[in-house]
Structure 1
Amino acid sequence: MTAATQRIDVIDALRGLALLGILMVNILVFATPYYATDLPDPAVRSAFDRGLYAVVTLFFETKFYLLFSFLFGYSFTLQMTAAARARTSFRPRMLRRLLGLALIGVLHAVLLYHGEILTIYALLGLVLLLAEHWDARKAWRVALALLGINALVWFVLSGLAFADPGAFAINASEELKEAHHKITGFTGPPARVIEEHWRQYRLTWPVLMALQGVNALAAFLLGFAAGKQEFFKNPGLLHRLNKLLGITLVAGLLGAVAYTFSVHGNVGAPWQVLGFALDTLTAPFLTASYVALFLLVWQQQATKLNWLAPAGRMALSNYLGQSLTCSLVFHGYGLKLIGQMSIEATIGVALCVFAVQVGWSRWWLRRFRYGPAEWVLRAVTTLKVPAMRRMEEAGA
């Protein structure tokens, strides 16, 4: 394996890791209508279930969308290079790509998963276009400023919550009514499922933008800066990240513990807002620690992690495939198991789905150049029909 191939593979492998992390969180949204509420969740049936739920919150929730966002920003610089290589104007090419991503995202939201993030990525990608000519240092500064300002806003909100707890109080009866509405909608016939997704999407999209949008944009810019500095082939930058690993890991874990306690500790709305503020500030540190630890292992024994690369190379197809599979298991398209599966069983399903995706991705990429969704997005981006089958297969 050449050094160039290894550099490409490590990016794809990190995408594969991000896919697993995102699935571990998203599957809970499919599996239980009580996710992200203060109501007792019937899916939590044992101490082991409670522990698993806490582990997902501690190590996965709010961390892996940041990794995916960082890699999106990094790939932005790869698209710039691809446009230069093809001798085409970058901005129209990227606008077409973002439009294609937005259309896929809307279809994804309405048909499969209302909590999807592709439309947010497409919108924030338009903002990233404004940074096309920035140098790495400016991108780093703006990203860090965004992270700091966003955390400050949430700390101010937590102060307001402590000053007036009633204004932030959660109506349990409304939450219960909404949970029952989800069960009825998502276990109905396909038309009813789509209707419920559309209803939830209109409610969820602004919330997701408020909770994740600013940090996602900051991660875009960090990835963009890393791409400008060719981070994955810059030993100096990798060494600097490794030197900071102890600090980022401790800070990230402390914030994650506080956030997990605020989510699962039945502490009330003011403490929940404070926990989220702490997590907003520290989740990027834990995500950076994941990247550093991953790269440390990769540098020593890449083969132990390279199995993730095919799944990451087909990240869009696999992301959509995860939603399709979860829809077939939990919604009215298939088994209608929403609200009926324990946390332990749900996490088991997630691991099985990802294992199948890794094997399927390897099989697919031996025969085809792109994943199905990647092929569509590339066609929209380049305004050409890409060759799908590999040359040796096409000639067979």
Structure 2
Amino acid sequence: MDAISTTVPLDSPLIGEGARPTTKADRIQTIDLIRGFALLGILMMNIPFFGLAHTAGPRFFTAPTDSADFKTHLIVSVLFEGTMRGLFSMLFGAGMLLFMAKKDTLADGYGIADYYYRRLFWLILFGVFNAFVLLWPGDILYTYGVCGLFLFPFRKMSPRTYLLIALFCVAVLGAKGFFRAMETKERREGYLKAIQLEKQKKPLTDEQKKAKEAWLSQEKNIKYDKKKEDDLNKTMQEGSYATIFSSYVPINTKLESTKFYQSYVWDAWALMFLGMALFKWGFFSNNLPTRTYVLTLLAGYGIGLSLGWLSFWDGVAWFTDPGKVLDSNSFPFQSLYHVRRAASAMGHASLLLLVYRSGVVPWLMKALSNVGQMAFTNYLMQSIICTLIFYGYGFSYFGKLALYELYYVVAAIWLFQLIFSTLWLRFFRFGPFEWLWRSLTYWKPQPMRVKS
């Protein structure tokens, strides 16, 4: 297999023509390959939130260490937590550069900026559709659409500049995390001081009483609450579409407003700008020496998996006894989350590109590329399939499967999407949602059938 044959340089005549979507001949297969891998991997990370209450998380950290749920949680957390969304964010940045590489003035009189912003406007609406119609509170399309609005002025900068911007975004996230940690530490210290005064039989001031209650409230929210999980399970299993919609409206509203501006925007930008740098360096288009990918694999997994392991056990300690963790002043490995996920994501990408270069399992590489070429359709399809499996207006399996059993569902959906994507692309140029998105972007129906 020729690893470079599908790469299209940015100055290619194909990219400089009038307004039209990318054709199959224009595509960079290795980007589709990594995107397909990330798309399937995202389901692996999302499935606990499709099939279980969000309040169930603490019980997997505190489950018996020899249980199937604990082992499953350990493996998934260490190897993949945050990395699939990280890869998706990197590739979104790379994809925006590819789109923006077309001529600024196109044959039909519109500039590339017109199509770029129209494309993102529709992506934002698809995100709202995914969250408020398909009822998936883990939507990322809205975040990517809004964050992408700010990328256009950066399209012609150097990879080094992109990397510096990415580091700045990580620094902002780190500063926000630091101040949150300090607030938590202050609550704990206020609580300990109040307890000490109570032991000495001294009266507490109103401020000291509030400090004590603030920590007790936070500790209660950290600990697993079976009643909360049971109540949510009942709502999701028995609820109609209208009931579940009403339940998720405040959650989705918060995630796409305050939560987005507090953290998601910086999280997405950090990985998008990193992806833009890597793309301009030729990383995703498979243009670097094999030695570079081997070293990136070793460094990425060495840093990412090590921090993943330490962070997981940090989580176990935190959900078992948060007060003890704060009192011990141990190093908070969770604070290196963004370093860890970026490192592991680059390790995953490097491994895929090395396998692709080797020519081993070409059928699997092609199948993953097909999934990646239809990533938009497959992503929304995951929302449709999983909500029908788990929600009350479907088969009502919400909360009925153990954590490890959810991954049987994941495997079945993976198999379906690998087969479906391959068969679909034999007859059509785009996935159905890709076709709709492109038709809306260019404001005219795009040819759908593959010419014989």
So what's the TM-score if we normalise by structure 1? 0.89
Deviates more, 1:345-354 or 1:232-241: 232-241
- Aligned equivalent of 2:126, options 83, 90, 104: 104
The equivalent residue for 2:385 is 325
Partner of residue 160, structure 2: 137
Q: Which residue of 2 aligns with 1:260?
A: 312
The residue that corresponds to 2:229 in the other structure is 179
Q: d(CA) in 1 for partners of 2:156 and 2:89? A: 19
Q: 2:74 aligns with which of 36, 49, 54?
A: 54
Question: 2:261, 2:309 → 1: CA distance?
Answer: 24
The offset of 1:350, in angstroms, is: 0.5
| Equivalent pair of 2:30/2:286 in contact (CA under 8 Å) | no
Q: Unaligned stretches of 5+ in structure 1?
A: none
More helix by share: 1
- Corresponding residue for residue 78 of structure 1: 98
Partner Cα separation in structure 2 for residue 277 and residue 91 of structure 1: 37
Question: Aligned pair in 2 of structure 1 residues 147, 309: CA closer, same or farther (>3 Å)?
Answer: same
* Mean Cα deviation higher: 32-41 or 199-208: 32-41
Residue correspondence of structure 1 range 106-255 to structure 2 within 5 A:
106-112=128-134, 113-165=136-188, 167=215, 168-171=218-221, 178-187=228-237, 188-205=239-256, 206-207=258-259, 210-233=262-285, 235-236=287-288, 239-255=291-307
Q: CA RMSD in A?
A: 2.9
Find 1:384's aligned residue among 404, 420, 444: 444
Query: How many positions carry a matched residue from both structures?
Result: 392
- Does the 8 Å contact 1:44/1:342 carry over to 2? no
Structure 1 letter corresponding to 2:70: R
For the residues of structure 2 that align with 1:237 and 1:382, how far apart are their CA atoms? 38
How far 1:333 moved relative to its partner?
A: 2.5
Q: Which amino acid aligns with 1:276?
A: Q
User: Offset of 1:45 from its aligned partner?
Assistant: 11
1:139-181, Cα deviation, whole Å (9 max, x unpaired): 1111122223423432443344334335553436996565345
Q: Which residue of 2 aligns with 1:32?
A: 52
Which one-letter code corresponds to 1:197 in the other structure? Answer: Y
What CA distance in whole angstroms lies between the structure 2 residues aligned with 1:261 and 1:213? 28
| % same residue | 27
Q: Cα distance, 1:204 vs. partner?
A: 3.2
Alpha-carbon shift at residue 75 of structure 1 (Å): 0.5
Q: Which moved more, 1:291-300 or 1:242-251?
A: 242-251
Q: Identify if the C-alpha distance between structure 1 residues 43 and 27 changes in structure 2 by more than 3 Å, giving closer, same or farther.
A: farther
CA contact under 8 A between 1:375 and 1:386: conserved in structure 2? yes
Structure 2 gap segments, 5+ residues each = 8-26, 189-213
Q: d(CA) in 2 for partners of 1:36 and 1:202?
A: 21
Q: Is 2:346 the partner of 1:346? A: no
The alpha-carbon distance between structure 1 residues 98 and 83, as it changes in their structure 2 partners (threshold 3 A), is farther
Q: Distance in 2 between matches of 1:313 and 1:115?
A: 22
1:310 alignment counterpart: 370
Q: Which residue of 1 aligns with 2:116?
A: 94
What are the Cα deviations for residues 233-283 of structure 1, in whole angstroms up to 9, with x where unaligned? Answer: 464476435324323221111211122223344344475993431223321
Whole-angstrom distance in 2 between the partners of 1:141 and 1:172: 35
Which one-letter code corresponds to 2:121 in the other structure?
A: L
What amino acid is aligned across from residue 19 of structure 1 in structure 2? L
Cα distance, 1:36 vs structure 2 = 6.1
Tell me, yes or no, if structure 1 residue 286 matches structure 2 residue 344.
yes
Q: TM-score, normalised by structure 2?
A: 0.78
Instruction: Please tell me whether Structure 1 or Structure 2 has the larger radius of gyration of its CA atoms.
Output: 2
Partner of 2:14: none
1:63 matched to which residue of 2?
83
Structure 1 position 357 matched with structure 2 position 379: no
Deviations 1:285-311 (A, max 9, x none): 111111111111111126142321111
User: Contact (CA 8 Å) 2:282, 2:288: kept in 1 or not?
Assistant: no
When structure 1 is superposed on structure 2, of 78-87 and 57-66 the one drifting more is 78-87
- Aligned partner letter, 1:299: R
Q: Is the 8 A contact 1:379 1:386 kept in 2?
A: yes
* Pairing partner for 2:355 from 275, 285, 297: 297
In 2: Cα distance, 1:93 partner to 1:337 partner: 42
| Whole-angstrom distance in 1 between the partners of 2:286 and 2:386 | 39
Query: How far apart are the structure 2 equivalents of 1:264 and 1:368?
Result: 48
- Residue pair 1:43, 1:339 contacting (<8 A) in 2 also: no
